[in-house]
């Protein structure tokens, strides 16, 4: 039984009952709306969701997150039916590079391996060398023998990796996340002035000037872990606001300050009614060509090997 069953609404309980009846594992990203996070079996960052999908023995997986996360779940466990309740929930940054522009870039840097951030389409990963997430980008790039490395598509994450690995020459694609580039030094300074003594923890998709004035840079899962383990009581949370729900729930003794306006509209497209409908109809499912799945899996497996 789900641990929150006693405090759930009627719709939430119906969802849990159907998930159990139909053998569905519900995975939700940290940016999902609170009521969706609360019915999930697992809430996590991109890496946690990929690993839980890979290791799941259940017949079906419902992925509440953006489309590349659902494609990743299907790729790492293709025998399962993977349901993505709102296929229009996509990551604009993942669509900022396509297979043709990557081929052009490779021609200009023929000896450089391509590291594809997990926020890319399955087609792009299938023609890249190794995947990474925000939790392991530095580790993955540093595991490569080559000095020159192509990093796609997030320019902020690419710059952060470059700052951590001065011995590498990173060719950075000019993609960005509109939510994280909207977080500014002024936002952080205002919150620091209002809450003196707070620690600042930010996501590496933030601009470098924001990263430079922060105490810790981490994936959403790493941000939560930092808040749990650090001795401070108050934290400024430099990422999409959804993470704060999980922080407040799992770390009730501490205080969290989100950045006003840091909202990913695509992550918010999935509601309880969408999930209920999906469980009733067991659709829409993620369908991918075998060739794309194979290429995508090779890229993801190289990441798992580098960890």
Nearer to ligand 13P, 47 or 286 (CB): 47
Judge whether 56 and 80 are in contact, CB under 8 Å.
yes
The C-alpha atoms of residue 284 and residue 286 are separated, in whole angstroms, by 7
Q: Where are the alpha helices (DSSP H) in 143-241?
A: 155-164, 178-181, 185-194, 208-212, 220-229
Q: Does 128 bind ligand 13P (CB under 6 A)?
A: no
Nearer to ligand SF4, 184 or 232 (CB): 184
- Chain positions 157 to 216 lying near ligand SF4, rule: CB under 6 A, are 177, 179, 205
Nearer to ligand SF4, 112 or 286 (CB): 286
For residue 80 the two structure tokens come to 């399962």
Judge whether 102 and 112 are in contact, CB under 8 Å.
no
The residue count for binding ligand SF4 (CB under 6 A) is 12
Least gap, CB of 6 to ligand SF4 (angstroms): 32
The C-alpha atoms of residue 285 and residue 278 are separated, in whole angstroms, by 9
Judge whether 303 and 136 are in contact, CB under 8 Å.
yes
Site string for ligand 13P, 232-271 (x = CB under 6 A): ----------------------------------------
Judge whether 122 and 292 are in contact, CB under 8 Å.
yes
Question: Residue 302 to residues 20, 44, 115: CA-CA distances in angstroms?
Answer: 33, 21, 10
Nearer to ligand SF4, 172 or 177 (CB): 177
Least gap, CB of 263 to ligand SF4 (angstroms): 9
Residue from 131, 152, 247, 264 binding ligand SF4 (CB under 6 A): 264
Site string for ligand SF4, 222-251 (x = CB under 6 A): ------------------x-----------
Binding site for ligand SF4 (CB under 6 A): 66, 91-93, 119, 177, 179, 205, 240, 264, 266-267
């Amino acid at each position: 039984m789900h641990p929150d069953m006693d405090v759930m609404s009627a719709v939430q309980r119906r969802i849990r009952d159907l998930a159990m009846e139909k053998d569905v594992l519900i995975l939700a990203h940290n940016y999902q709306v609170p009521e969706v996070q609360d019915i999930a079996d697992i809430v996590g960052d991109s890496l946690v969701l990929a690993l839980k999908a890979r290791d799941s023995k259940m017949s079906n997986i419902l992925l509440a997150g953006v489309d590349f996360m659902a494609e990743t779940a299907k790729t790492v466990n293709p025998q399962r039916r993977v349901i993505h309740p709102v296929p229009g929930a996509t990551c604009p940054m993942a669509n900022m590079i396509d297979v043709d522009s990557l081929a052009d870039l490779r021609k200009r840097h023929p000896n450089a391996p391509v590291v594809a951030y997990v926020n890319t389409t399955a087609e792009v990963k299938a023609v890249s060398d190794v995947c990474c997430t925000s939790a392991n980008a530095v580790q993955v790039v540093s595991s490569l023998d080559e000095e020159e490395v192509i990093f796609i598509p997030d320019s902020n994450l690419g710059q952060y990796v470059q700052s951590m690995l001065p011995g590498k020459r990173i060719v950075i694609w000019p993609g960005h996340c509109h939510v994280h580039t909207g977080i500014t030094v002024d936002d952080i300074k205002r919150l620091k002035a209002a809450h003196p003594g707070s620690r600042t923890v930010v996501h590496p998709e933030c601009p470098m000037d924001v990263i430079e004035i922060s105490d810790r840079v981490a994936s959403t899962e790493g941000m939560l872990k930092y808040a749990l383990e650090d001795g401070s009581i108050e934290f400024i949370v430099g990422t999409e606001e959804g993470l704060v729900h999980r922080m407040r729930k799992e770390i009730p003794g501490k205080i969290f300050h989100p950045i006003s306006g840091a909202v990913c509209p695509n992550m918010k497209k999935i509601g309880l009614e969408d999930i209920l409908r999906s469980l009733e109809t067991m659709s829409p499912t993620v369908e991918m060509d075998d060739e794309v799945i194979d290429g995508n899996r090779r890229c993801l497996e190289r990441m798992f090997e580098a960890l």
